[in-house]
Amino acid sequence: MRESTKMLLHYITGLGIVVAGGVHLFTVFLTGPYLQNLGFSGGGYSVIAIYRNVLLAATLELLLIFVDYHALNGIRVILIEFHQGTRWERGVSWVLAVTGILLLVYGTRTILIANALA
Amino acid sequence: MAEPLTSELKRALFGWFYPVKYSIERWAYALQRISGIAVTAYFLAHIVETGNVVGGLSVWSVPSTDLARDVWAATFHFLDNPLFDTGLVVIGFMLAYHTVNGIRLTLTEFGLLQGRPARPDFPYEPKSFTKSQRAIFWLSVLFAAATAVYALNVFFGV
């Protein structure tokens, strides 16, 4: 992938985070008492109520994808500004790509299982 | 390229965390990086934390709801203390700053608010950092401070 494509994706995911992250923060902080919303169940916006709502769970999955890319690409940009060289840049990209995929798998597992909890 | 990697890293890091004597644009850059790293660290912890909603790292099929509820209650109990709450106030500040300053950077990436090229004159303030960009930068600092105050109120009831 060209560097310009990676950076375009960086800006697109950044704007996506503003929207999806806005929804996420709204449901946690602005829909009722914070402690109630972080309770496992009880109330319309408790942890498990959010995951069971397909639309909100899908928003969380989107947020996960956006933040995963944006954060790790950001770290990549910082690291290749520290030091340049083909080996360094390739190594950094590979390590971060694997990290990103592992985080995505683990986060998606949480969302899918929490959505299916009885 | 003769410089060893560690001293290169040290120099780069020092350049970020010590933007004193540079223009305000450099401060915006340093803060954007620091806040980006801070929020990334929070993101990693948050993925692990929310993984406990379904019972933690070893759970890869749908567990009993009781197990999930107990693990989440224990996790929340562990995290619910002034140390982590203070951390969240800092993360709130960083996230708010990174968001608004990031919008400024997105606008400049697509050529907006760039200003016209001009002759460099004393005191050599960066012409690219236009008045409207300065306004957005200060707005991001203001928004970050407001978020920190809001977070203080939520977590400590100040």
Q: Does B5 touch chain A (CB under 8 A)?
A: yes
Whether A85 and B91 have beta carbons less than 8 Å apart is answered as no
Total domains present in chain A: 1
Contact of B90 with B145, CB cutoff 8 Å: no
**Alpha-carbon distance A99 to B135, whole Å?**
37
Angle (nearest 5°) at CA B65 between B60 and B71? 75
pLDDT class of A13 with cuts at 50, 70, 90 = very high
pLDDT tens sequence across B118-130: 888 888 777 778 8
Q: Are B99 and B137 in contact (CB under 8 A)?
A: no
Domain map (residue ranges) of chain B: 23-56+63-156
Range of the domain at A39: 3-116
The token duo for A53 is: 């709502």
Contact between A100 and A72 under an 8 Å Cβ cutoff? The reply is yes
pTM recorded for the entire structure: 0.93
CATH of the domain at A33: 1.20.1300.10
CA B86 to chain centre: 15
Residues 10-29 of A with CB under 8 A from B: 11, 14-15, 17-18, 29
Q: For residue A42, which residues of chain B lie inside 8 Å, CB to CB?
A: none
Q: Judge whether B156 is closer than 8 Å to chain A, CB to CB.
A: no
Task: Determine the Cα–Cα distance for residues B110 and B82; give it in Å rounded to an integer.
Answer: 42
Residue B121's pLDDT is what? 85
Q: Does A36 touch chain B (CB under 8 A)?
A: no
* Contact check, Cβ <8 Å, A71/B40: yes
Written as one string, the DSSP assignment of B128-155 is TS-HHHHHHHHHHHHHHHHHHHHHHHHH
DSSP state of B22: S
- Give the three-class secondary structure for B130: coil
The residue of B53, B75, B99, B155 whose CB has the most chain A CBs within 10 angstroms, and thus the best one to mutate to test that interface, is B53
Q: Percentage of chain A with pLDDT > 70?
A: 100
Does any CB of chain B come closer than 8 Å to the CB of residue A74? yes
What is the pLDDT averaged over residues A67-90? 94
pLDDT for residue A82: 84
B102 touches chain A (CB under 8 A): yes
- State the virtual CA torsion across A8, A11, A13, A18 in degrees, nearest 10: -160
Model pLDDT for residues B29-71, shown as the tens digit of each residue: 999 999 999 999 999 999 999 999 999 999 999 999 999 999 9
Instruction: Using DSSP, state whether B25 is helix, strand or coil.
Output: helix
* CATH code reported for the domain at B23-56+63-156: 1.20.1300.10
- Compute the count of residue pairs across chains A and B with CB atoms less than 8 Å apart: 82
What is the Cα–Cα distance from B137 to B139, expressed in whole angstroms?
5
**pLDDT tens digits for A29-58?**
999 898 899 999 988 899 999 999 999 999
B40 close contact with A: CB closer than 8 A: yes
Q: Which residue of A has its CA nearest to B108?
A: A11
User: Which two three-digit tokens encode residue B138?
Assistant: 């200060």
**CA A37 – CA A27 distance, rounded (Å):** 8
